[in-house]
Chain A
Amino acid sequence: MRVLLVEDEPRLSAQIRSALEAAGFAVDAVADGLEAWHCGRSEPYDAVILDLGLPGMDGLSLLRRWRSEAVAFPVIVLTARAGWTERVEGIDAGADDYLPKPFRMEELLARVRALIRRAHGFSAAELVCGDLRLDTRLARVTLNGEAIPLTAHEFKILAYLMHHPGAVVSRTELIEHIYAQDFDRDSNTIEVFIARLRRKLGAQRIETVRGLGYRLFAGHGADA
């Protein structure tokens, strides 16, 4: 899952970034409103954490601009201005959630995960695909109730596929959602990770659709 973090306070930005990365997210961090606007238009983020007081372009204007351009990713607003009139304004501008500062990091992570799940139509914290279960809070994967140890990148790829059960996910899409912008991308590594996942979960679990990408085998109970 790839997250855009828009926060101009460098220390806080670094903290959130490291917490998100530790939780298995790919993070693009920007400090400027205009830059954030460009990133949001060109990159397919799974969620955006948006501080309202920004240089360049303030958060609410940025949000309204994205929404008017049909940019649909879920946005959680992070702000010190926590009055209810401001919250109503933020939600009306197109935010999906509102987290007043200061906040607990766990709270932010929980809300980001919940937002991504909600955006894909899931409401529980645990994603289920047949006998395969992925707990977004604990970053834990079980197959038939047995825990499967996964590396960070393997987890990221599986989580993305589980958020899109039954859909064909292209390699580019996977790269875009798994790596941050400034990461040296090599599409061949995706194949390596898929191969490792197949080894751990069973070869038939991830299907290769030639020329298009990968599809997570949607067993019964996978459609939500």
Chain B
Amino acid sequence: MRNSLALRLIGGASIWLAVALALSGFGLSEVFDRQVTATYQRQLMQQVDRLAAGLAWTPGGTLSLVAPPSDPAYRRPYSGRYWQVSGESGIVMRSDSLWDQSLALPDPPGPLGEVGRHVVPGPAGQSLLLAERSVALVGRDVPVRLAVAVDRAELATANAEFNRLLSASLLILGLGLMLAVAVQIMFGLWPLKRLQRSLAMLRNRRQQRLSGSWPVEVRPLVDEINELLDRDEALLERTRRQAADLAHGLKTPLAVLANEAGSGNDALHGEVGRQVDVMRKQIERHLARARTAGLTAQNAEAVDAPGTIRELARTLARIHGEKPLDFEIEGSGRFAGDRQDFAEMLGNLMDNACRWAKSRIAVSLLELGGRLRITIDDDGPGMTGEQRERALERYGRLDESAPGSGLGLAIVTDIASMYGGSLLLDRAASGGLRVVLELPAPPG
């Protein structure tokens, strides 16, 4: 509950909905109860009036009821509906339903003509709602007290019926409201869902920044994320620049040292030369690592692999101008990552191929199932299985005399592994070396 905004909102909404519905149910029930009581009292008063209208003094001084109330309930014993007429000397007339019981009227009677409403105990343990009035009939100046009563159980039944209906409809209303609340919350939280998807796309490097329009509540978050991405990019750029500056700063003195070491043949010169070479390799490799952008949200580039390879081939043909080199580039594919990293890997591998090839270097590309496979064949002397194994070992060097060899492969392996890629050495059909580099390709 605590970890879901939607559940929190639904939980909160259900609590206040329950309280509101319960309160309104209680209130409605109360109002209805009062309404029912008022209605019954009005009915009772009408009955009293009708009773009064039907009563008359006979010339003999007795009361006669010309038209007794017609409701059959007044004839069924203890039916719950009763009337009673009483004079000075006691009960004069009563409904059959009262049987031998009487309605307990409070004493003393109210002033003439005034309506009295009471709740009194009735026959068979009933609780009665009673209306009474003392009237003076034409003919004699003696007040007659008329009373009509109804069993309160009748009211209770009506109330219960209403309450049942009320709670059923309130329950349905509550469920409907909850559904509406849930839909509204889903709708309201939709931008968060979108944000989540956008972030996933950032991670998968399908987009570089969070774009599009966002609600004002989410926009600060989006802006903040974009700013972070920018800062990250700037930081990466600065690190790369610093790495390059460090390279420049260190390599020139190293060149001086190396040349100085090369100018003599004694043990010191030799040792300095060797150590300078070790330093050069360490710097080269770690700078290559520092320069590597690797998997970041900013380099969501889809690098056009054949384009970069052709550029490198042109450069290598110039650098290895001594040899007539023939580059064959076939297939196509894209690399999901930084262009510079890609150039670094392919440059090293193709340079290696150029160094050993007699005349032909074949690069073939295949993009399949989110992977880019690049195969580089040369027609040089190739390597034995053991040599291939050693060449891929960390800091392994195959040929101490060939400048730069070994290091290139180590750098390529480093960069490739940052992308979750792999490097394999094999035998080319021509007998030369085959290098297979596998890298991630952009989705879709």
> With a CB–CB cut-off of 8 A, which chain A residues contact B321?
96-97, 114-115, 118
A97, B252: Cβ atoms closer than 8 Å: no
Q: Is there a chain A Cβ closer than 8 Å to B2's Cβ?
A: no
Q: Is there a chain A Cβ closer than 8 Å to B141's Cβ?
A: no
Binds A, one of B60-68, B342-350, B382-390: B342-350
B247, A81: Cβ atoms closer than 8 Å: yes
Q: Is there a chain A Cβ closer than 8 Å to B326's Cβ?
A: no
Q: Which residues 254-298 of B sit at the A interface, judged by CB distance below 8 A?
A: 254-260, 262, 276, 280, 284, 291
Q: Which of B254, B311, B318, B348 contacts A101 (CB 8 A)?
A: B254
A103, B255: Cβ atoms closer than 8 Å: yes
B256, A12: Cβ atoms closer than 8 Å: yes
B244, A85: Cβ atoms closer than 8 Å: no
Q: Is there a chain A Cβ closer than 8 Å to B314's Cβ?
A: yes
Nearest residue (CB) in B for A101 is B251
User: How far apart sit A12 and B41, CA to CA, in the bound complex (Å)?
Assistant: 119
Q: Which residues 331-349 of B sit at the A interface, judged by CB distance below 8 A?
A: 339-340, 343-344, 346-348
User: How far apart sit A15 and B344, CA to CA, in the bound complex (Å)?
Assistant: 30
User: How far apart sit A82 and B311, CA to CA, in the bound complex (Å)?
Assistant: 16
Nearest residue (CB) in A for B339 is A85
> With a CB–CB cut-off of 8 A, which chain A residues contact B319?
87, 91, 97-98
- Looking at B254, B255, B259, the one whose CB has the most chain A CB atoms below 10 A away is B255
B262, A105: Cβ atoms closer than 8 Å: yes
| Given known contacts A12-B252, A97-B321, A84 and B312 CB-to-CB distance under 8 angstroms | yes
User: What are the interface flags for B235-249 relative to A under an 8 Å C-beta threshold, 1 for contact and 0 otherwise?
Assistant: 000000000100111
> With a CB–CB cut-off of 8 A, which chain B residues contact A114?
321-322
User: How far apart sit A123 and B260, CA to CA, in the bound complex (Å)?
Assistant: 31
Interface residues on chain B, number (Cβ under 8 Å): 35
**Chain A min CB distance to B252 (Å):** 5
> With a CB–CB cut-off of 8 A, which chain B residues contact A210?
none
**Chain A min CB distance to B230 (Å):** 22
Q: Is there a chain B Cβ closer than 8 Å to A53's Cβ?
A: yes
> With a CB–CB cut-off of 8 A, which chain B residues contact A81?
244, 247-248
Q: Is there a chain B Cβ closer than 8 Å to A83's Cβ?
A: yes
> With a CB–CB cut-off of 8 A, which chain A residues contact B259?
12, 15-16, 19, 105
Q: Which of B256, B260, B315 contacts A87 (CB 8 A)?
A: B315
Q: Is there a chain B Cβ closer than 8 Å to A69's Cβ?
A: no
**Chain B min CB distance to A194 (Å):** 31
| Given known contacts A87-B315, A88-B312, A118-B321, A80 and B260 CB-to-CB distance under 8 angstroms | no
Interface residues on chain A, number (Cβ under 8 Å): 33
**Chain B min CB distance to A108 (Å):** 9
User: How far apart sit A58 and B254, CA to CA, in the bound complex (Å)?
Assistant: 21
Q: Is there a chain A Cβ closer than 8 Å to B403's Cβ?
A: yes
| Given known contacts A96-B318, A98-B319, A82 and B247 CB-to-CB distance under 8 angstroms | yes
User: How far apart sit A106 and B343, CA to CA, in the bound complex (Å)?
Assistant: 28
> With a CB–CB cut-off of 8 A, which chain B residues contact A106?
262
> With a CB–CB cut-off of 8 A, which chain B residues contact A103?
255, 258
- Looking at A53, A83, A91, A95, the one whose CB has the most chain B CB atoms below 10 A away is A83
**Chain B min CB distance to A62 (Å):** 17
B344, A102: Cβ atoms closer than 8 Å: no
Q: Which residues 57-92 of A sit at the B interface, judged by CB distance below 8 A?
A: 80-85, 87-88, 91-92
Q: Is there a chain B Cβ closer than 8 Å to A9's Cβ?
A: yes
User: How far apart sit A23 and B118, CA to CA, in the bound complex (Å)?
Assistant: 135
Q: Which residues 114-142 of A sit at the B interface, judged by CB distance below 8 A?
A: 114-115, 118, 123
Q: Is there a chain B Cβ closer than 8 Å to A104's Cβ?
A: yes
> With a CB–CB cut-off of 8 A, which chain B residues contact A96?
318, 321
User: How far apart sit A221 and B250, CA to CA, in the bound complex (Å)?
Assistant: 48
A91, B314: Cβ atoms closer than 8 Å: yes
Nearest residue (CB) in A for B260 is A15
> With a CB–CB cut-off of 8 A, which chain B residues contact A95?
318
| Given known contacts A91-B318, A107-B403, A83 and B340 CB-to-CB distance under 8 angstroms | yes
> With a CB–CB cut-off of 8 A, which chain B residues contact A80?
247-252
B256, A11: Cβ atoms closer than 8 Å: yes
> With a CB–CB cut-off of 8 A, which chain A residues contact B257?
102
User: How far apart sit A114 and B322, CA to CA, in the bound complex (Å)?
Assistant: 7
> With a CB–CB cut-off of 8 A, which chain A residues contact B318?
91, 95-97
User: How far apart sit A84 and B351, CA to CA, in the bound complex (Å)?
Assistant: 10
User: How far apart sit A53 and B262, CA to CA, in the bound complex (Å)?
Assistant: 24
> With a CB–CB cut-off of 8 A, which chain B residues contact A123?
322
B340, A85: Cβ atoms closer than 8 Å: yes
- Looking at B251, B280, B291, B312, the one whose CB has the most chain A CB atoms below 10 A away is B251
Pick the 4 closest A-B CB pairs, nearest first. A84-B347, A102-B255, A80-B251, A101-B251
14 CB contacts below 8 A, A to B, read A9-B252, A9-B256, A53-B248, A83-B344, A84-B343, A84-B346, A85-B339, A85-B343, A88-B311, A88-B315, A91-B314, A91-B315, A102-B251, A114-B322
- Other CB < 8 Å A-B pairs besides A11-B256, A87-B347, A104-B258, 6 of them? A12-B259, A15-B259, A83-B343, A84-B315, A88-B314, A100-B251
